[in-house]
Structure 1
C-alpha cells in the first residue's frame, strides 16, 4: 500500500470485496500514518486511534444530532426522517438523557437474568433443529434467536418475527452507509412506515389490556405525562427491536467464524466454559458488529493535529480502535482468555448501546451451549459470505454442520 493509496482512502472503499473480507490492515495503516484522516470523497473525517475515538465520543462538541434535514416531498421519506430523528442514537442531552433513563429501566441486569431460562430453552430448541445436517448458521439460527429474544422481552408477538426481521432489515439498510438504488431506498422507507404502523397498533392494544412486559411499562411511562411521547416511544421501539437483534446476529456469526479459524482457541473454550464472558468480549473486540459511527462538530475542534471545522462530519472507526496496539497487546490475535473492559464495540460514553448487556448475555449462552453439545462443529470457512455494509460487519451466510 503506497502513501498515495492511504491518502486516497475513503470510507466508501470498505465496500470493496478485499476490504470487506479484511479491513484491518488498512485500519492499521490509517492509525500509524494518518489517524485523523480527511476522506477524499466527502465523508468527513475518519478517526481510527483508540484515544481519539474515545475523545470524540466523550466531547459534547461532537453532536449525535447528525441527520440531514429532509427536503423530500414524499410522505414516507418525511416520516422515516422524523422516526430516525426521535431515536436516542441521533439525540444529544437533555433529550437523549431523558429517553435513555426511561428505556434503561427495562435493561437492568436483574431483568435480563430473569429471562435466562427462556433464552436457554430457545437456544436449545433452535440448535436441536439444526443438529446433524448442513445448515446456514445465520439464517437458521443467528437471525431467529435474537429476534425471538428481543420480541419476548418487549412483549411483541414472537409469531410476527419473520415480518419484524424484514422491517428490521429495511431499517438497517438505511444506516448501513452503503449507496442505495432508488427502488431499494423506497422499499426501505416503506418498511419503516409499516414498522411505525405495527407499533402504533400494538401500543393501542397495551393501553386497553396491559401485560407484564416491557412494552406495557413503556406505555405506562408515556401515559404518565411529558416524559415520553407516543412518537418517541414508537421510534425507539423500532431502534430497540431492529438494533437489538441485528448486532447480536452479527456477533454470533462473526464469533463462530473467527473461532473456526482459530481452532486452538475454540478447544480452549470447550475445555473451560467459564471463559464465556471473556470469549464474547474478545469476539466483540476482534470483529465488532458495528464498525463505524458518526458525529458532527458543533464548533472548531483540534484532534490529532488536525482542525475539524464546525459543521464537518466525523466517522469514528470502532473496528480500528479495537485493534489499536497502543491499547491491546497483539491486537490482531484472537485470545479467548483476554478480557478488557475497554472495548468500544458498543460505543462509548452516553451513547453506548443500551442493549449491550443483553447481546453479551445471549452470546454467552449460545457459545456455551455450542461448546457443550457440539465441540466438533464443522464450519465451512471458505464459503462464508459477508453482508454489504460500511457501518456493520456481519455475515449473510455461514454453512455449518453441528455434530
Structure 2
C-alpha cells in the first residue's frame, strides 16, 4: 500500500497539465483523504458532495473575494486585486448581487431564451451541413465552439466577425479562474490576462456607446434600458455583466457539448439511443454535468465563522462525517469534479449512465447564485447533441482528444471524429 500523498502535493497535481485528460483519479485521492484544512493559508479544500452542497447552500457562504482575509491583506499591502474594475454579479453578494441579478434577469427572460430556439436549431443544422460530406471533422471547431459563440453574440449584440478577438481574450481570462495563486502563491500569465481583460472591457465600452446611440434588439440594449423601482445599471455594471456573460456564456457550453459527445462516443449505446430518440437528450446532459462537469471547481469565502457538516438537509445531525470549522474570511475551495463522483452520493460514480434515474449534481450551483444561463446552456446542448447523433449514427473517435490547459473550466481544444 502506498503512503497517502501530502495535501499540498495532491493540490499541485491538479495543476499538472499531464493529468488534464483524466484528472479524476487525483480527485478521488483527495476525496478519500477527506477535507483539507490549511489554516496557515486560510484555505479549506472540500471534496465530498455533502460538504460542497452545504457550502453552496450556507447563508454565510460568500462569492465576493474582497471579503477574504487574503484579499484584505493584499489590499493592505497596496495591491490592486480588481484591475479590471467592477466584477460581474457572479462574484458579488447581496445586496449588490440581488439588485444586479434582478435587473439582468428582467432582460434575460425565459421568453428571450425560448425565442432563440428556432435560430439555434437552424444554426446547428447549418454547421452540420458543412461537414456532412466529410469523412471526419473536429467536433470543437465544427460544432461545440461556433454554436455557443454565435448564440451569445446574438443575445448580447456582439458582432460575430469580432469572434476571433474576444474568444482569444476569453480563453486567457478563463485561465485566471485556475487556482494557481490559491494553491501556489504564483501569478502565472498575469500580464497577459491583464492585457486581455482591459482590451475586452474597452471593446465592450465602445460597443455600449454604439448601443446607446442606436439601440438594437439585443441584451446589451436591454440592459441599458432596463429599470425597476427607479434603479438602473451603471455603465461599469453593464460592461462587467456583458463581460461575464460573454466568457461564461461560451466557455462552459463548449465544454458541456464536447464532453457529452466524448462520453457518448465512449459509450456507443448512448450515442445510438439519442440518435433514435431525441427525448433522451435531457438525461444525457444532466449525466454529463455530473460525470464530466464543465466547471470543475469553485470557491467561496466564509462571511462569518462557519460550521460545515453538522446538520443534514433534512435537519438531522450527521454522524457519517466530521464537522469542519471555517473561520471568517477563510477561502473554501469546492472540488465539484470530486463531489460529483462521491460514492456516498451516487452509485457507480465513475460510470457514464444517463439512465441511472435521479441525477444529482452541483454544476449550476445552488440558491441565489444558481446559474442564470442554465436554461440556455441546456437548450443549446439538447439541440446540438440530438442533431449530431441523428446525422452521424456511425461516428466514432478518430483519436484521443487534446485538452486545453485550463483547470477550472476544463475542456478540449480538439476532438476528432470519423463519420
1:103 alignment partner in structure 2: 104
Q: Which whole-Å CA distance do the structure 2 matches of 1:334 and 1:126 have between them?
A: 27
- Per the alignment, in what secondary structure is the counterpart of residue 354 of structure 2? coil
Measured in 1, the distance between the counterparts of 2:24 and 2:272 equals 25
Q: Does residue 174 in structure 1 map to residue 191 in structure 2?
A: no
1:203/1:385 CA distance change after superposition, 3 Å: same
Partner of 2:391: 373
Q: Rate the CA distance shift 1:398–1:243 in 2: closer, same or farther, 3 A.
A: same
> 1: distance between equivalents of 2:188 and 2:335?
29
For 1:253 and 1:396, the matched residues in 2 are separated by 10
Structure 2: which 5+ residue stretches go unaligned? Answer: 309-321
Range that drifts further, 42-51 or 199-208: 42-51
Secondary structure (helix, strand or coil) at the match of 2:363 reads coil
The answer to whether the 8 A contact 2:107-2:226 is kept is no
Deviation of 1:258 (Å): 1.3
Residues 308/183 of structure 1: CA separation in 2 closer, same or farther (3 Å cut) = closer
Q: Aligned equivalents of 1:323 and 1:112: distance in 2?
A: 31
Task: For residue 188 of structure 1, report the CA deviation from its aligned partner.
Answer: 1.5
Following superposition, the deviation at residue 380 of structure 1 comes to 2.5
Alpha-carbon offset, residue 118 of structure 1: 0.9
2:406 counterpart (386, 389, 398): 389
Identify which range, 54-63 or 275-284, moves more after superposition: 54-63
When residues 94 and 40 of structure 1 are mapped into structure 2, their CA distance, relative to the original with a 3 A threshold, is closer
Aligned counterparts, 1:126-145, within 5 A: 126-131=127-132, 132-145=134-147
RMSD of equivalent CA atoms: 2.6
User: 1:371 Cα deviation (Å)?
Assistant: 1.4
Does the 8 A contact of 2:13 with 2:26 survive in 1?
Answer: no
Q: Which residue of 2 aligns with 1:298?
A: 303
Alignment of 1:108-257 (within 5 A): 108-131=109-132, 132-178=134-180, 184-221=189-226, 226-257=231-262
Cα gap change, 1:97 to 1:149, in 2 (>3 Å): same
2:91 paired residue number: 90
Aligned residues of 1:147 and 1:245 also touching (Cα < 8 A): yes
Number of equivalenced pairs: 396
SS of residue matched to 2:4: helix
SS of 2:83 mapped into structure 1:
helix
Q: Distance in 2 between matches of 1:154 and 1:101?
A: 17
Please tell me whether the aligned partners of residues 275 and 337 of structure 1 are also in contact (alpha carbons under 8 angstroms). Answer: no
Aligned-partner Cα distance in 2 for 1:146–1:128: 17
Alignment of 1:302-313 (within 5 A): 302-303=307-308, 304-313=322-331
Residue 231 and residue 332 in structure 1: after superposition, are their counterparts in 2 closer, same or farther (change >3 A)?
A: same
**Counterpart for residue 269 of structure 1:** 274
What does residue range 343-358 of structure 1 map to in structure 2 within 5 Å?
343-358=361-376
Matching residue of 2:311 = none
Cα 1:308–1:118, aligned 2, differ >3 Å: closer, same or farther? same
Q: Give the TM-score normalised by the residue count of structure 2.
A: 0.87
Provide the rounded CA distance (Å) in 1 between the counterparts of 2:397 and 2:286. Answer: 21
8 Å Cα contact 1:222-1:233 kept in structure 2 = no
Q: What displacement does 1:17 show?
A: 4.6
State the shift of 1:313 in Å. 1.0
Q: 1:91: how far off?
A: 0.6
CA contact (8 A) 1:295 1:314 kept: yes
- 3-state secondary structure, aligned to 2:176: helix
Residue 123 of structure 1, CA deviation: 1.0
- Tell me how far apart the structure 1 counterparts of residues 244 and 297 of structure 2 sit (CA, whole Å): 17
What pairs with 1:41-120 in structure 2 (closer than 5 Å)?
42=41, 44-67=43-66, 68=71, 79-80=83-84, 82-83=85-86, 86-120=87-121
Q: Give yes or no for contact 1:178–1:388 (8 Å, CA) kept in 2.
A: no
Name stretches of at least 5 consecutive residues in structure 1 with no aligned partner. none
Counterparts of residues 6-17 of structure 1 (less than 5 Å):
7-17=7-17
Partner Cα distance (1:37, 1:62) in 2: 18
Kept in 2, the 8 Å contact 1:178–1:389? The answer is: no
Greater shift, 257-266 or 274-283, is seen at 257-266
User: Structure 1 pair 259/381, CA: closer, same or farther in 2 (3 Å)?
Assistant: farther
Q: How many angstroms apart in 2 are the aligned matches of 1:262 and 1:104?
A: 38
**TM-score (normalised: structure 1):** 0.90
| CA distance in structure 2 between the aligned counterparts of 1:23 and 1:142, rounded to whole angstroms | 22
Report the CA distance between 1:260 and its aligned residue. 1.3
Q: Name which of structure 1's ranges 275-284 and 128-137 shifts more when overlaid on structure 2.
A: 128-137
